Structure 1
């Protein structure tokens, strides 16, 4: 789906979203050096740091940290899902069905599952989004179902002026 739906600024507000809309990111190629660098800093385990040692682990070879995949996913979400208030999470579920490997070209496909205006905060609502991080073959490496806070472009006229519900 085009990133220019909704408003002239290209930013998407709650009113612009509906169930079933799909957003897709561009690709991001992951290299072994990237996996090593992230692991040294944030997840220093042998299957992320050492190609040879990784062969004798559950992964059977070098694998990116799930948190590295999540960080790349976040970068791609920010680029492809232009929510007016930014990507502001309010909780969710994450799964890594298979390990991300060097050479994988990751992209994120996000589907709007639900859009719910807030009853107590008329300037925003909650959107549930499923984002699948896939490689160049379409294999899913991460599945994230997140609840995101999304602003409205305008406060409904029936809302109390003092913000109370």
Structure 2
């Protein structure tokens, strides 16, 4: 199990593989982001995208799927997230793309009010199959502390 004490500042993790399908792009957009360039090939062709593209929120959901799979594989003692500080959709994601993630811990601290947990920030970038960044975010995570009775360092 990976705990707060095991997180290393600056260490980069590379993980995930998500194949984006047309069917999933249209299904997600139909339910959550029904804009024409996410639903219709002809409408999308007339936009700056030039073709059908995934919703940015769908890109977030695909990223979350890869993150959770990585957390399970590495047995992280995660306790959820209080949110993200930054989110950028850098480049469109298209059906046929294959996504992957790179993440690095950029800050970490023990909670003074809840000494059983740590708080950390990660910089995460999602890349397509051409190693082009398509999305980036700064996320906040909560993680269990191995020994909650240990003194909190300043």
> TM-score when scaled to structure 1?
0.84
Offset of residue 26 of structure 1:
2.6
SS class of match (1:68): helix
Is the deviation greater in 87-96 or in 14-23?
Answer: 87-96
1:106 aligned partner: 99
Identify the residue that residue 135 of structure 1 maps to in structure 2.
128
Contact kept in structure 2, 1:13 and 1:150, CA below 8 Å = yes
RMSD between superposed Cα atoms in Å: 1.5
Report how far residue 85 of structure 1 moved: 2.4
- Give how far 1:75 is off: 0.6
Instruction: Tell me the equivalent position of 2:68.
Output: 78
Structure 2 counterpart of 1:8: none
The answer to which of 101-110 and 87-96 deviates more is 87-96
Q: 1:149: Cα distance to partner? A: 1.2
Structure (1/2) with the larger helix percentage = 2
**C-alpha separation in 2, matches of 1:85 and 1:26:** 18
Per the alignment, do residues 145 and 13 of structure 1 end up closer, same or farther by CA in structure 2, a change over 3 Å counting? same
SS for the counterpart of 2:69 is helix
Residue among 3, 10, 16 paired with 1:13: 3
* Structure 1 unaligned spans of 5+: 1-10, 160-165
- Cross-structure match for 1:96: 89
Q: Deviations over 1:95-142 (max 9, x none)?
A: 001110111100111111111111222111111001111111111111
* Count of aligned residue pairs for this structure pair: 149
Matches of residues 1-165 of structure 1 in structure 2 within 5 Å? Answer: 11-81=1-71, 82=74, 83-158=76-151
The corresponding residue for 1:5 is none
2:78, 2:141 within 8 Å by CA — same for their partners in 1? no
Q: Distance in 1 between matches of 2:135 and 2:117?
A: 28
Structure 1 residues 84 and 104: alpha-carbon distance in aligned structure 2, compared to 1, 3 A threshold: same
With a CA cutoff of 8 Å and minimum separation of 6, indicate the structure with the bigger relative contact order.
2
Following the alignment from structure 1 to structure 2, what is the Cα–Cα distance between the partners of residues 133 and 123? 31
